[in-house]
Amino acid sequence: MAATKISDISWFHDFPPFFTLQPNLDTRRKQLDAWCSLLLEYCRLKKVCTFDVNDASKFPPFFNGKINRQLDNNFIQILLEELRSRGNIEWEDKNKRRCLIFWNSLEEWAKTVYQWITSRGMNRTVCTFYELLHGDDTRSADFHDIDPKLFRRILNELEKHGQATVFSENGADGVKFL
Amino acid sequence: MADRLAWTDGQLYVGEALVTSQNGVSINDGSEKTDIQKGSIELTSHRILWKDKSAQVARLICTLSKSQTKRPDPFASSAHDEIQFEFRDGGCNEFFRLIQEELAKKRWSVQPAKSTTTMNAAMSDRSHRTGISGIENHLQHQLNVQHQSISGAFQDFNNLMQQAKDMFNISKTIANKSQEQRSDLTSDETIRFRSYLLSLGIDNPVTKESAGSQYHVSLAREVASLLEKSLKDTNDIMTLSDVFCRINRARGYELNAAVHMEQLNLPVRLRVLSSGIKSFELTNHNEEKDLKEITNQVESAKSMCADQLANLIGIPVIVARERLIAAETNGLLCRDDSIEGLRFYPNLF
């Protein structure tokens, strides 16, 4: 997975016009769709859950050295706003510098986690965040190694629906699935 | 005022220079016709001369008084206060402009640089003796000499104009003859010849005088017929500046008439491209087909910039850029804008 080339995710990444914001609005719509798909898939594969705008120039999808093209700041802003409007990112601060990335929606995540727990018969057990996120047992799970901030959001969502309780004991965060 | 005309043998004075001449000029006494019909009039730095085909010359003296010569004048007396020159073959405006120039230069009052020694001595005595006015005279003299050398420098130019005018007249004669005697030239040759004439600026150009209020409309027709041929050679589309250049060669007027073209169902129309540039194209020009072809060209080359397209199909770069943008607007192409420049690709989105 680490060796996946971005152009394997989307051939558009090797297409120079992909990096120019298209003035034709119909074309632009398709271009933005392609970018959003590419970015979310990239984040899912690499388990990228947070993004800092200051790191934008180093973010691999935003440039392609092979064809010598990169997104300008204006295009990056437009992309981020597009993702936000689709519910795929949430800004953490008012200045829109850091954001949380949702390649799955919160509902989808909650469902995924609860299904995984249930399929292993782990209801009514207590687990720590750490073992759920990084333990060997969860290696095959989608949520394995995701950002703790995101994980907490998912568990809070489960808590809202009465499917889990989140607590903290001795500095460690834990959850009991109901 | 025809009594101011006097006969002369046509020899120029020392220091007199020929400025221009014009054929087809008649002289009227006031507004009355005279026997002096359709000759050639010559403007020199000193006089206006007229001669007919047999090279007899009448001389008009630019003074206020009657002719002082002893020879009998063509007109003993005149009831009018003016003389009219009728320009039957054109050239009136130009002649008038040159007369005004000569009147300003007043070359007839300039003493020639090398006059007789007595004259010189008398002149210089006068100027040395009379202090400030002498200096003034000297300055005036210098100014006159300068005038002469400047007009001498322009003499060549005037000669060139003169020769061009002769060529114009010859061409016009031939054009008229070709109209009458069609059998002498084949229709191909006639057409070709007339197109040469057109680029020289003849073929009965529509002028404000001849067409009056219908000026722009008639002009539109004329421009359209002129352009139709040109446009076929330049792939159906030319920018306004290109057209302006070609039309100016033929007539030297503005192209306000262009807006009338479409209304008159002429074969050529004015089009404003999205960048604001105005261009002409044939009305049977098919936009969709044109854009499809351009897209095909870009596809074969994988990508293209405006320069490449311009070179490839022989249109101006400005127009090539417009075409590419038009294809992009229609969703056929997309753009790649980087430091390497603006290029267009087939729209694969």
Q: Is A6-101's fold the same as A106-177's? A: yes
Inform me whether the C-beta atom of residue A26 falls under 8 Å from chain B C-beta atoms.
yes
Mean pLDDT of chain A: 93
Domain boundaries of chain A, sorted by first residue: 6-101, 106-177
Class of domain B213-269: mainly alpha
Task: Work out the percent of chain A whose per-residue pLDDT is above 90.
Answer: 88
Nearest-by-CA chain A residue for B337: A20
Inform me whether the C-beta atom of residue B348 falls under 8 Å from chain A C-beta atoms.
yes
Copy the structure tokens of residue A39: 């970015």
Among A133-137, A157-161, B43-47, which is the least confidently predicted range? B43-47
Q: How confident is the model at residue A27 (pLDDT cuts 50, 70, 90)?
A: very high
Provide long-range contacts, Cβ within 8 A and 24+ apart, for A157-160: A157/A106, A157/A107, A157/A109, A157/A110, A158/A110, A158/A113, A158/A114
pLDDT at B64: 45
CATH number listed for the domain at residues A106-177? 1.10.10.10
pLDDT at A116: 93
CATH number listed for the domain at residues A6-101? 1.10.10.570
Class of domain B287-346: mainly alpha
DSSP class per residue in A71-120 = --HHHHHHHHHHHHHTTSEEESSTTS-EEEE-SS-HHHHHHHHHHHHHHT
Whether the complex's predicted ipTM surpasses the cut of 0.90:
no
Among A83-97, A134-148, B14-28, B256-270, which is the least confidently predicted range? B256-270
| Distance in angstroms (rounded) separating the CA atoms of residues B237 and B167 | 33
Inform me whether the C-beta atom of residue A75 falls under 8 Å from chain B C-beta atoms.
no
Contact A68 B340 (CB under 8 A): yes
A98 neighbors A52 (Cβ within 8 angstroms): yes
pLDDT at B121: 45
pLDDT at B267: 57
Q: What is the dihedral of CA B210, B215, B218, B221, to 10 degrees?
A: 130
pLDDT at B307: 95
CA distance A39 to chain B (A): 17
Contact B328 A24 (CB under 8 A): yes
Contacts of A69 in chain B (CB under 8 A): 336, 338
Contact B329 A24 (CB under 8 A): yes
Q: What is the dihedral of CA A130, A134, A135, A138, to 10 degrees?
A: 120
**Pick from B303, B335, B347: CB nearest A20:** B335
Contact B334 A69 (CB under 8 A): no
**Torsions phi, psi for A92 (to 5 deg):** -90, -25
Query: For residue B5, which of B15, A173, B34 has the smallest C-alpha distance?
Result: B34
| Distance in angstroms (rounded) separating the CA atoms of residues B27 and B73 | 15
Average pLDDT over every residue of A154-174: 91
CATH number listed for the domain at residues B5-64+79-106? 2.30.29.30
Contact B348 A27 (CB under 8 A): no
The amino acid occupying position B181 is: Q
> Would you tell me which residues 284-323 of chain B have a C-beta closer than 8 angstroms to some C-beta of chain A?
303
Contact A16 B343 (CB under 8 A): yes
CA distance B278 to chain A (A): 23
What is the 3-class SS of B94-134, one letter each residue? HHHHHHHHHHHHCHHHCCCCCCCHHHHHHHHHHHHHCHHHH
Domain boundaries of chain B, sorted by first residue: 5-64+79-106, 213-269, 287-346
Q: Up-side HSE of residue A146: CA atoms within 13 Å toward CB?
A: 25
B231 neighbors B237 (Cβ within 8 angstroms): yes
pLDDT at B53: 66
Please measure the distance between the N-terminal and C-terminal CA atoms of chain B and give it in whole angstroms: 86
Inform me whether the C-beta atom of residue B336 falls under 8 Å from chain A C-beta atoms.
yes
Number of CB pairs < 8 Å for A and B?
Answer: 44
Q: How confident is the model at residue A176 (pLDDT cuts 50, 70, 90)?
A: very high
Copy the structure tokens of residue B303: 């990508």
Per-residue pLDDT of chain B (349 residues; tens, 9 = 90+): 777 777 777 777 777 888 888 888 888 888 888 888 888 888 888 888 888 766 666 666 554 445 455 556 677 777 788 888 888 888 888 888 888 888 888 887 765 544 444 444 444 444 455 678 878 888 888 888 877 777 776 776 777 777 667 666 766 676 676 666 554 445 566 566 666 656 655 444 444 444 444 566 666 676 677 667 667 666 666 666 676 666 666 554 445 565 555 555 555 666 666 667 667 666 556 788 889 999 999 999 999 999 999 999 988 899 899 999 999 999 999 999 999 999 999 999 9
Q: How confident is the model at residue A62 (pLDDT cuts 50, 70, 90)?
A: very high
B36 neighbors B27 (Cβ within 8 angstroms): yes
Query: For residue B255, which of B268, B244, B246 has the smallest C-alpha distance?
Result: B244
Q: Residue A17 pLDDT more than 80?
A: yes
User: Which of A27, A66, A75 would you mutate first to test chain B, the one with the most B CBs within 10 A?
Assistant: A27
Inform me whether the C-beta atom of residue A37 falls under 8 Å from chain B C-beta atoms.
no
